[in-house]
Structure 1
Amino acid sequence: MPLLSNFFSTAAGLLVRRWEAAQMDALLAECSGDNALQLGAPYGSLLRNAPHESRILAVQRSFPDNVGECAKLRLNYENLPFREASFDLVVCAHASEWVTDSGQFFNEIFRVLAPEGRLIVLSFNPWGPWCVRKKDKLINLSADIHFKPLSVAEVKSQCQPHAIVDRGRFGVYCPSLSDNPQKLARWGWCEKAGDRWWPALSNVYMLSAIKKEEKPSLIGKLMPQGAMLKKGWGGQTVATRNQVQQ
């Protein structure tokens, strides 16, 4: 199964990693709670600076084992093995590009997200120059896989029944995928110009949403200690932050 991990080790991929790290640092400074979940790990964990006691990194069950520096769990993105309202934060790090049923994917995310919990989506922009003109350099399209980035409008539409989108950012406007940092540096002017004149044509974007409940209810999670997983789920053990740092 081809992954994006090879791309994220290139010079262009490092541009994306730096931009996404900056977005995460700004958002994590406002987050709180006990449990955080990251779906997708093309270049490792984005939860290293999260204040949550339990931080879970989940990868698609069919993907090869390419992440080893933090706790991880193999699962199906469209059938999460967690109980309702288990997480205060869910981060989708280039996970939405792989799902075949985006409606089911977001329904599962908001099912496991606690009221007032935050969802952060990091994704490639299908209208950006990389996806429009150079998609074959991001991933091997000759393989029999499903790789379809969702647009910002599509993500907003999926979030609307469950949450309020509170912020979003477009970023990385460089049209080149050269692995030469000097060539990429020549396109540095695109960042400020793109933010001002053509933001919707960026290569990646970030979208953040807060889950809302229409009926009166308690804010946060209400479950017994250690009861995060569904009953009868027989997967591997999930590590907490303290276990990971040993």
Structure 2
Amino acid sequence: MVTPVNMSRETALRIALAARALPGTTVGQLLEILHQQIDGPLTEESLQGVSVTDLKIGLAGSEEDVDMLDTPMSALKDAVRILWGEAEVDSLPQPVRLERMPEGSIRVAIASNNGEQLDGHFGSCLRFLIYQVSAKEKALVDIRSTLDVALAEDKNAWRVEQIQDCQVLYVVSIGGPAAAKVVRAGIHPLKKPKGGAAQEAIAELQAVMAGSPPPWLAKFVGVAAEERVRFAVSDEEEVVKA
């Protein structure tokens, strides 16, 4: 495959595979559509901004003709997954089915773009890694793609719905309005601007759970109210000593 000028081989490969997933669409046609939808060069990062709606409009020729498009929705979704790099499933960890819920465990969502990494921004991450976590046990129980967010009217609300069974959310960053929606859903957002391995973030959380968890975390793991007060006082004493 000849790589177009100013385009990485990975970007060119994604576009070629995406075109193959769309019946009757050539690489040249898809390139033209992508150039119309993306401001600036075509890169792995910019391809992550392409939605199912973008492809539908591009293939139909105009927004008015979208209803006449006969390309299957499944093909459009497959093409977007490929453009996003989500087709690289071999690099993703495999969730497990728990026979029991660990005592005192919580559910944790991690915004991710690559493998088992905490490297996603809330509003643009490709998926959420979902873990069941207690002070002594942890397990990846689900991986939730955000592909369908393009069809949502309120994209932040849609993302919150995908993790509404979680108590904690780890992100590289999150905007104010989105954070407010997360908090209203009863989820505690935690920012790690430098990101890192998801397992490292989980291990740090477990260490806090096993020690003196802050009141918000103690509440999630089922610590009695009087114990939460004790933890809060203990934390204050440590600050004074420091």
Give the TM-score of the pair, scaled to structure 1: 0.25
Larger relative helix fraction: 2
Q: Which has the larger radius of gyration?
A: 2
The structure with higher relative contact order (CA 8 Å, sep 6+) is: 1
